[in-house]
């Protein structure tokens, strides 16, 4: 196992009790100490001085997470924007500008939604307001974005690995201590369809203890269809049923991608996992193609996030099938709808 792989297992609480784990853990703990100090400085600068936070000219929803990647926040942002558009209102999605893959993906899905990205999201919002009317702002990955005041704090949790080992980055996967859940108005438990009933019950109880003030929503990511990268020609799930595929991804929770593929009834025979936001190189894709051919895979599949990150290169080199997905709600969607419509001034029937 690579050092990177072992570090990730330690962070997620799944590392074996071996010499490598014992050797690496102290170094990660030192990193955690420095991370905590920086986090507390940034947090206190704004939360202890509310006047330092900007109030935008429209109501704002923050969609964020407590952990590092893979919680389904970007698909949830899309779902919220669709609800606003369906109410004939205009959403503005404000992204951090760290990576363009989520922005490109959302642009392809949300006709009529406004988008702006950048480190200074206050400035980005003001620039949009010069030319457009905005009914609701949505902060993508907003929980730790301190400069902007928000009217609704939504926190997404990966139900398959809610809190890792309970430690802060890089010792664990937490971006904030668990006590930060007390800021949440709504907690969305994502990927709940993969949990056993008792495990889900235990998680709901844990979240209720950590955030008794928050309302709970349960959701999962549903596969819709595949489409060819180069020409976007759709391929139904039924047509892909039983086909041998090679899967590759560079996302925060590759395990969920594998589970969603299994739900779509394909048969992954090879899988390649890269770090989150990985910029694929031609040699990576050539290696994927070579091993896929040796495994007699019929197709190569990837996520939309990965496709839009390296669209040109992937189309020219592999022309993979891309899995299109969407958030589906198991319970609590009315809670989300009520909160959104209240902010945009629409009465629900």
Give residue-wise pLDDT tens across range 142-186. 999 999 999 999 999 999 999 999 999 999 999 999 999 999 999
- pLDDT for residue 99 is more than 70: no
In the DSSP assignment, the letter for residue 252 is S
DSSP string, 103-131: HHHHHHH-TT-EEEESS-HHHHHHHHHTT
C-alpha to C-alpha distance for 86 and 218, rounded to whole angstroms: 21
When pLDDT is averaged across residues 306-310 and rounded to a whole number, the result is 94
Q: Using one digit for the tens of pLDDT, what is the confidence trace for 311-329?
A: 999 999 999 999 999 999 9
Q: Where are the domains of the chain?
A: 50-221+328-344, 222-326
Point out which residues pair with 300 in neighbouring strands.
Answer: 246
Q: Using one digit for the tens of pLDDT, what is the confidence trace for 184-213?
A: 999 999 999 999 999 999 999 999 999 999
Torsion of CA 291, 311, 303, 190, to 10 degrees: 150
- Beta-strand (E) ranges in 185-295? 186-190, 215-228, 234-235, 244-249, 267-273
Cα 255–214–80 angle (5° rounding)?
60
Joined together, the tokens standing for residue 345 give 């001034």
Q: Give the burial string for 125-159 (b: 16+ CB within 10 Å, else e).
A: beebbeeeebbbbbbbbbbbbeebebbbbbbbbbb
Asked: is 50-221+328-344 a CATH 3.40.50.300 domain? The reply is yes
Q: What is the number of other CB atoms lying within 10 angstroms of the CB of residue 349?
A: 2
C-alpha to C-alpha distance for 101 and 178, rounded to whole angstroms: 28
Give the CATH fold of the 222-326 domain.
Answer: Rossmann fold (3.40.50)
CB of 204 within 8 A of CB of 189? Answer: yes
To the nearest whole percent, how much of the chain has pLDDT over 70? 98
Joined together, the tokens standing for residue 111 give 């006709």
Percent helix, strand and coil across the chain, each to the nearest 5: 45, 25, 35
Joined together, the tokens standing for residue 158 give 């990966």
Helices 19-47 and 3-12, interaxial angle, to 10°?
A: 60
C-alpha to C-alpha distance for 291 and 349, rounded to whole angstroms: 55
Domains 50-221+328-344 and 222-326 share a fold: yes
């Amino acid at each position: 196992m690579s050092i990177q792989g072992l570090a990730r297992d330690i962070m997620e609480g799944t590392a074996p009790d071996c010499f490598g784990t014992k050797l690496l853990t102290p170094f990660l703990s030192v990193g955690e100490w420095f991370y905590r100090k920086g986090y507390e400085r940034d947090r206190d600068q704004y939360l202890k001085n509310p006047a330092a936070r900007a109030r935008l000219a429209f109501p704002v929803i923050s969609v964020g997470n407590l952990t590092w990647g893979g919680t389904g926040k970007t698909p949830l942002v899309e779902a919220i924007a669709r609800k606003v558009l369906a109410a004939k209102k205009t959403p503005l999605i404000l992204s951090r500008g760290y990576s363009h893959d989520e922005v490109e993906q959302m642009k392809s899905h949300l006709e009529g939604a406004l988008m702006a990205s950048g480190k200074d999201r206050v400035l980005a919002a003001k620039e949009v307001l010069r030319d457009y009317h905005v009914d609701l702002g949505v902060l993508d990955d907003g929980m730790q974005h301190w400069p902007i005041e928000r009217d609704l704090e939504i926190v997404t949790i990966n139900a398959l690995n809610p809190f890792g080992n309970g430690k802060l980055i890089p010792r664990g996967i937490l971006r904030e201590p668990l006590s930060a859940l007390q800021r949440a108005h709504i907690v969305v438990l994502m990927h709940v369809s993969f949990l056993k009933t008792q495990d889900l019950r235990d998680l709901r109880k844990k979240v209720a203890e950590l955030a008794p003030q928050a309302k709970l929503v349960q959701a999962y990511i549903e596969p819709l269809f595949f489409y060819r990268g180069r020409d976007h020609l759709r391929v139904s799930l039924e047509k892909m049923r039983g086909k041998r595929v090679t899967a590759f991804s560079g996302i925060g929770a590759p395990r969920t991608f594998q589970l969603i593929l299994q739900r779509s009834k394909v048969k992954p025979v090879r899988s390649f996992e890269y770090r989150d936001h990985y910029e694929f190189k031609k040699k990576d894709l050539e290696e994927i193609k070579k091993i896929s051919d040796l495994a007699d895979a019929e197709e190569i599949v990837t996520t939309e996030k990965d496709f839009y990150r390296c669209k040109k290169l992937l189309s020219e080199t592999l022309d993979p099938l891309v899995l299109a997905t969407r958030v589906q709600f198991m319970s609590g969607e009315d809670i989300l709808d009520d909160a959104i419509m209240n902010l945009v001034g629409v009465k629900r029937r």
